[in-house]
Structures are given as structure tokens and as C-alpha cells.
Chains A and B, each alone.
Chain A
């Protein structure tokens, strides 16, 4: 069975500071990993994915994520946060051969001016 854990319900940072949102996963095989962002009353927007290859993945809006197989982690990062990055962030995993996405509970990011 596949699962995702986002250990922090909330992350608060000042604008211009680095932002990190943590994610760990559990799968039986090699994972496909995704990050999505959700703004109030909106659907989920795709940010980035890891399928294979380079452990550092770059995505939309200046976000990047680092895949760490030994720690089964896929943390989302942004070097300099903006107030507009304030939203709900979801990590998701798909096990090879599985069609469903399993999501974490989400992390609310608040960036203060």
C-alpha cells in the first residue's frame, strides 16, 4: 500500500525567506511523486513531479523539490517566498503500476509581508 505523510500542518515564513514543506512517502516499489497547490475554493494546481533521473526537480513558480530515496522524502522548497505563495500544499505519490494518486493531509503555508 502507498501512503504519504506531511508532518507539518502549518508552515509560517517571512517574505523573502526560504520555504520548505516536508513530505515522506511509503510505497512497495519505486515511486512517482507529485506536488500540488490549492488556493481557496479552487482545484489543485500541479507544481512539479519526480519520475526518475536527477534527484532535484524544478517546477512552476520557482518551486523545486529534492527526492531522497534513502530517507523516502520529497521535500518542496523555494529559495525566496512570496506572499502570493500562501496556500495549501499537497504531496502525492503513485506506486509503479498503480493508477491512483495518494495524497497527504496537506500543509498550509502562510507567508507574511
Chain B
């Protein structure tokens, strides 16, 4: 059973560009959450998608947007990249109730030059 997968593994962009990150959830999971992990810090919640809708959003600007597809996979889009957007972006999937743990993918390392 494949776990959570993310692509690409690494990405280098320049300021002002746009980027799209992709995530496939663990089999049987219907909920996808995105987190940003800056170097030396804990993950910060960006947003969560359920039934193709953004269910909750963290304290991130509108430059961060997402999408969930009917097969539960998800995309994270970041527009007008800033140097401060350089981080590890983690996707997590879960199923059902709030008591269930989230399973994390390996992450996408984004570097903005």
C-alpha cells in the first residue's frame, strides 16, 4: 500500500514566479492538508481540503491556493514567490474523523532565489 506521495522532490524557482506542488493521499484517505516547514521550525498549517473544498485555512496569504480533485489528490499553488517561501512543503492525508492521525508525505523542498 503506497503511502502519501508528493512531487516534485525538489524545486528551484526565482522571485515572482509561480509554483505548483502535487500530492496523492494514502489509499482510503479523503482529506488532504498542506503544511510549510521552514528550516529549524515545526510545520505550519496552510489549509485542508475535504470533498474538493477548502475546509480550513491557516495564517497564509491569498498567494497560497489549492485544489482537490475527485480522486482526492491535491495541488498547492503559490503565486508571486518570495524568498521567504523557501521551505519544505508537506502534504498529509487522513480519513474520517478528527481523532484520526494524519499521514505525511516526504515533502517538496522549494528554494526561491
Contact = CB atoms under 8 A, between A and B. Distances in A.
Interface size class of A (residues with CB under 8 A): 20 to 34
Nearest to A103: B42
23 contacts: A32-B98, A32-B99, A34-B101, A41-B106, A43-B105, A43-B107, A44-B90, A44-B92, A45-B104, A46-B101, A49-B101, A90-B42, A90-B43, A92-B42, A96-B98, A99-B98, A100-B56, A100-B58, A101-B33, A101-B43, A102-B45, A103-B43, A105-B40
Contact of B104 (A44, A94, A96): A44
Contacts of B104: 36, 43-46
Contacts of B73: none
Interface SS of chain B: loop
Contacts of A103: 35, 42-44
A98 B42 contact: no
Interface in A10-53: 32, 34, 36, 41-46, 49, 51
Contacts of B102: 46, 101
A100 B48 contact: yes
Interface of B: 4, 33, 35, 40-45, 48, 55-56, 58, 90, 92, 98-99, 101-107
Interface in A61-109: 90, 92, 94, 96-106
B42 A105 contact: yes
A42 B42 contact: no
Given A43-B90, A44-B43, A103-B42, A51 B99 contact: yes
